[in-house]
Chain A
């Protein structure tokens, strides 16, 4: 590499002040360039991550330094039905919402991959739910789910006459759970669709032509070309989606705050309620830390599960 020869030539060519020379000294420059990013991440990410794990083993509250209490917080959580409830709903929420987002997002990506007028405009419009602040669109959903003035109830009852009474979206546990999942899917579709669309566009049309010459049907082309070719991108997008759905906070906090009767608490909202609102920092941190094993497992599962399928596919085709 010519890089290594440079500093010496630059030195001989010109008389430079020591400051300029210092900034042209590669190791120094590398350290200087990395310092802001690494510094910020260390102070506000790595250190808090470690601190959070430490806090989970203490009984710290707001305004009082805690002492080490071992596994007490976790033992308490294991006997706490609310925590189990939050675990159940977090897993359920992630599974159903991820499935919905990917089924509908993949479909939307396939639709957007066609040729039609105003394509780029449509693509921009479709991203809107992802762009605007989640809390603000969550407020719109809250209003849409209003027990008395819900527009969906109005449509079903007064316009279509399919039902006789308004739907109680957020008043009882199961409807509330599904309402939140629907809002999450609505918010997640654009990102999935646009990312998968990028993947679809990298698939060479010649593969489809070859398959069609061989007489493959539309469903076979999807099954044996589109799907395997999309596997790597699916794996990445799904990993991201699972992580950020599992740790979701805003939607639930904005629409139900965990209610009715704590049935829609996710681990993140429960951690907030106990840790910040309730002041039990240690317990809140323990709830947050209890998310880590699920996240690691989900990441490994989605990433390696999907990546391995891709590898097997390649093996079978060879």
Chain B
């Protein structure tokens, strides 16, 4: 691929301020042009989603008379159809319930686990940490068939509760890993002081470690929320009835009907389904990027 070959010249600009000979035109060619291409391509599907969602059907299927890149007479018909003629609000509610439930559960479990591994050091604690981390490498595609039988055994088939219990399998390893890194950055001396003052372990966790770890908890929470909002394969395999489906599954299985696709409604549904995570993420984007990069640096 020629793109890969072009990298070295971009590196020249990576060293800040040392490239005095770096002309403005060169900078535009080497950085701004490729960068704008990247942004354009990475964002285009979202733009296309949004444009389609607000386009009347007549414009949607006639590129000759209307420029497809723009909307001449925007309409809310697709969104109205989605909110009032389908079970979309209900799917949103289910997804929200599942995402919040599994996030809470995994934050609880992984905070305690990370605290035990990082702060209550015991023999073999690094191995327990490694074991939990390895669990993250087991992909859901391998697990969904046996998990489906387990869910049936527990009598949880077709219930959102099954998803709340199953999602922690991929949330807990990640959150634990992230929080171990975070707990490491909190000075141990603070806990020692509290121990000397006679605080119990649980008091220390509640009054000292957790308040200091709030940024870490927030980023673990965002990760969990977005991951469980986006989860697909378990939700597809374990939920059967239309009413209990989560948004990603429901759009694909309930809205795609027949041979003529309702592209306007489909894209409106995708847009609305993406908004909660996008908003949630934009509120905490700094935590998110720093924890992502921090976790990788570990």
Contacts and interface: CB of A to CB of B under 8 A. Distances in A.
Interface in A1-53: 1-3, 6, 9-10, 13-14, 16, 20, 23-24, 26-27, 29-30, 32-34, 36-38, 40-41, 43-49, 51-52
A44 B290 CA distance: 30
B42 A139 contact: no
Contact of A33 (B49, B115, B148): B115
Contacts of B132: 37-38, 41
B267 A154 contact: no
Contacts of B273: 133, 136
Contacts of A205: 15-16
B278 interface: yes
Interface string B107-128: 0111011011100111000001
A60 B282 CA distance: 46
B161 interface: no
Contacts of A212: 15, 18
Nearest to A124: B285
B25 interface: no
A110 B42 CA distance: 16
Interface stretch (A69-77, A141-149, A309-317): A141-149
A137 B47 CA distance: 11
A60 B198 CA distance: 58
Contacts of B159: none
B117 to A, nearest CB: 8
A124 B282 contact: yes
A302 to B, nearest CB: 12
Contacts of B226: 131
Contacts of B165: 40, 44
A238 interface: no
Interface in A204-229: 205, 208-209, 212, 218-219, 221-223, 226
B42 A143 contact: no
A49 B142 contact: yes
B88 interface: no
A236 interface: yes
B169 to A, nearest CB: 4
A12 to B, nearest CB: 10
Contact of A249 (B4, B38, B49, B141): B141
Given A219-B8, A233-B296, A268 B141 contact: yes
Interface in A45-69: 45-49, 51-52, 55, 60
Interface string A181-224: 00000100110001101111110010011001000001101110
B68 A154 contact: yes
B145 A55 contact: yes
Nearest to B9: A218
B35 A45 contact: no
Interface in A234-250: 236-237, 243-244, 247-250
A194 B138 contact: no
A70 to B, nearest CB: 19
A78 interface: no
B6 A45 contact: no
Interface in B49-98: 49, 52, 60-61, 63, 68-69
B145 A52 contact: yes
B110 A37 contact: yes
Report, as a range, how many residues of chain B touch the other chain.
35 or more
B61 A44 contact: no
A98 interface: no
Contacts of B32: 116
A186 B41 CA distance: 8
B31 interface: yes
Contacts of B150: 43-44, 47-48, 51
Given A151-B48, A195-B293, A110 B11 contact: yes
A1 B3 CA distance: 54
B270 A137 contact: yes
Contacts of A47: 150
Interface in B1-27: 1, 3-4, 6-16, 18
Interface in A86-116: 99-100, 103-104, 106-108, 110-116
A198 B173 CA distance: 21
Contact of B45 (A32, A37, A186): A186
B244 interface: no
Given A24-B201, A34-B112, A44-B147, A189 B141 contact: no
Given A141-B45, A195-B292, A288-B142, A107 B4 contact: yes
A263 interface: no
A9 B39 CA distance: 60
B270 A33 contact: no
A167 interface: no
A66 B277 CA distance: 42
Contact of B292 (A198, A244, A288): A198
Given A125-B42, A226-B11, A253-B252, 16 more contacts: A16-B200, A26-B120, A40-B172, A107-B10, A110-B10, A111-B31, A111-B35, A114-B14, A114-B31, A132-B230, A134-B248, A136-B270, A139-B251, A197-B293, A272-B144, A291-B141
Interchain residue pairs A-B with the least CB separation, the first 3: A198-B293, A33-B116, A218-B12
25 contacts: A14-B198, A23-B201, A41-B169, A43-B150, A44-B168, A49-B138, A52-B145, A104-B38, A107-B7, A107-B34, A111-B10, A114-B31, A122-B35, A124-B282, A128-B42, A143-B48, A186-B42, A198-B294, A199-B296, A200-B14, A212-B15, A219-B11, A236-B296, A285-B145, A288-B141
